[in-house]
Amino acid sequence: MSGKIDAFVDCVSPYSYYATLYLRKNRKALESHGVEVEFHPVFLGGINVGSGNKPPWTLPAKANYSKFDSERACKYFGVPPIKTPDFFPILSIMPQRCMIYIKRTYSQERFETTFLSLWEWMYHKNIDISKPEHLAELLKSHNYSDQEIKAILGAAQSPEYKEALTANTQKALDQGAYGAPWFWVKNQYGKEEPFFGSDRFAFMWQYLGLPFQDVTIVENAGKSRL
């Protein structure tokens, strides 16, 4: 069995955070079936504009519901409660370009753990990581040298990485993306299909032909039957 999950994620999206955590948690099991996972930084704002979608916080009904959904998701994925910072939403272009540079320059593990810190600093520490000085502090906490940090932040202003983020975003749009996380999945037969959101993994496992345990209700054995 083999397959590939291409995950298109943005640090401004909390559901991208949950999906990244979940896929990393299950990577060993996926690899045992020959399924590879790769994360691609995208600009969610560009996906929204390109697809005609509107961010959930701009629609009152969705904004009100998201308070409940966020709390439930945090419990399910095992992360501290998320507090939406006053500066939200951020313009995620700069940190996303930096993540592409780090992905190309460093190991997979270093890229992914640094990427996860973007969500952690913004949603748990309430630090605006779209500001260069704060992003530099984050990178320093991951033991990047001053010279490396200068190169990473500089890359975000270069034509190469501006184009790279645009290309990743356009690739997701070409696949039909209208939000994040967006997944493009190839199964063992070479067939490819899209999946959206952090709550569709059971559908993804079915598509990949993976053995898995779905959500089940455990019967209360102590309750007498009438």
**Which residues belong to the active site?**
13
DSSP string, 15-77: HHHHHHHHHHHTHHHHHHTTEEEEEEE--HHHHHHHHT---GGGSHHHHHHHHHHHHHHHHHH
Q: Which residues make Cβ contacts (< 8 Å) with residue 166, sequence separation at least 6?
A: 43, 46
Instruction: Give 3's strand partners.
Output: 35
- Per-residue b or e along 158-186, where b marks 16 or more CB atoms closer than 10 Å to that residue's CB: eeebeebbeebbbbbbeeebbbbbbbbbb
Neighbours of 35 (CB within 10 A): 24
